[in-house]
Amino acid sequence: MARFEVPDGWTVQAYRFALDPTPTQERAIRSHCGAARFAHNHMLALVKSVIGQRAAERSYGVSDDELTPALGWSLAALRKTWNARKGAVAPWWSQNSKEAYNSGLDGLARGLDAWSKSRAGKRAGAEVGFPRFKSKHRAVNSVRFTTGAIRVTPDRHHVVLPVLGTIHTHESTRKLARRAEAGAARILSATVKYEGGRWYCAFQVIVEGKQRSAHDAKPVYPIVGIDVGVKDLLVVAAPDGTEIERVVAPKPLTAAQTKLRVLQCKAARQQGRWEQRTETRLDPSKRWLRTQYRISKAHARVANIRRHELHTATTRLARNHDVIVVEDLNVAGMCRGGGTYKRGLNRAISDAALGRIRTLLGYKTTWNQTRLVTADRWFPSTQTCSRCQAKTKLALRDRVHHCRNGCPAIDRDTNAAINLARLGEPTNTGGVSGTGTGSSPAASVSAGDGRGAIRKTCLTDSVGKAGGVEASTSHHQRLVGQTGTVSSQGEAA
């Protein structure tokens, strides 16, 4: 459920800036992150103890009326219990902002709610486990502020946060400051997070939507389809068969594998936090900590390169086209299983971040007043010929689509992008034209399975459009038509 209402014509947007805190400010930020972690762990321990106590009392035959009172799991209930106990368990609580403790309790409330809904079958997706305690060595250092002084200063190089005060930024904040001064943006919250050896501040903002000017030039290709892949990150094509753009996958993780392998082998020779042979905890050496810092910096660089390429490509698409058609890929399922045989492909799929593309286009098309159409997960964009709509089964290694009807060969990614683009074409009845495959799942974002076309492609021997089982001719029927007889398994001659 939304915690605020977005006014009509406004959208939610985030602005993230790299911070440059002083040593004193950095210690204060780390104290706030530790306070959030302490509140989370303390209340989680209390929740688990109450659950265990009630289960033990039930095993002794105690009636439900006489059980230990249950502890509420909502944010308001957890916050009320924490306020009653903080004086005894955390006498230093006044040194940090109340928002620090609220951040930890909010994360716990969300985790408990997700676990209870997943257990009851009311939550989609993978099964969610019970919340776990956060370690200062493994947990992400972050704290969220929702009340108090949260703003960017007029000098464009400082942000103001409760208790922490004014913090210098590495980059200019003019993009957010100009909108805030014009009354076109309102800051809702600020999250300070440590990532890749640097502190960041992300502002959650509602901004007034931009309206396209009537004098803006109309796009040359208003409707496009996008096929995503591992070798070529994006292949963009128009319904008429024109390939508009091809973005090569940057593969930043592949480029950094040599450096990461050297650093990880170096860390394995140093004294870390865990001795595998004796299974004991140790105090890590300073050299091991420095090596871990270099590893985190390398991963941060990989993530930044990947993020930059995805944002650049998706922003260009959202601004230059009116309708964008993408696929609904099950990326998590594509990366699951396979073992050593499929390890390289799984890494390449994760390195390309295929599932992130649709997420970015989802809100960027809203910002630019364009439309995003999502094709059904089972729409055969790659197997369908973009010229005659006949289906041809292709293996993953087949990079060229050879139509079984004799159409000229075409790149499989371009062929898939053309089929997707045609799903975004409007018709006279207000719907969306299909590609002749019997499936029109992308008529709208919430479309169903069209006319119920089968999900699995069936190979046929007939010439023309593939119609599934109805257009197939079995080997038994062909034998009868050719010889007039049947085999010994037939019923009649």
Q: Taking Cα atoms as reference points, which of 234, 413, 396, 417 lies closest to residue 316?
A: 234
- Output DSSP code: residue 449: -
d(CA 237, CA 240): 8
d(CA 36, CA 82): 12
Catalytic choice (99, 309, 327, 351): 327
Q: Is 275 a catalytic residue?
A: no
Residue 112 CB-density burial (10 A; 0-12 exposed, 13-18 middle, 19+ buried): buried
Please state the φ and ψ torsions of residue 362, each to the nearest 5 degrees. Answer: -60, -45
Catalytic choice (227, 309, 351, 376): 227
| Residue linked to tokens 């208790």 | 163
For β-strands 198-208 and 185-195, DSSP reports them as antiparallel
Q: Is 279 a catalytic residue?
A: no
Catalytic choice (106, 309, 376, 413): 413
Q: Is 322 a catalytic residue?
A: no
Residue 228 CB-density burial (10 A; 0-12 exposed, 13-18 middle, 19+ buried): buried
d(CA 222, CA 350): 30
**Contact between 373 and 317 (Cβ < 8 Å):** no
Structure tokens at 226: 């996008």
Give whole-number Cα distances, 217 to 221, 242, 365, 366, 372, in Å.
12, 20, 17, 19, 20
Instruction: Just list the catalytic residues.
Output: 227, 327, 413
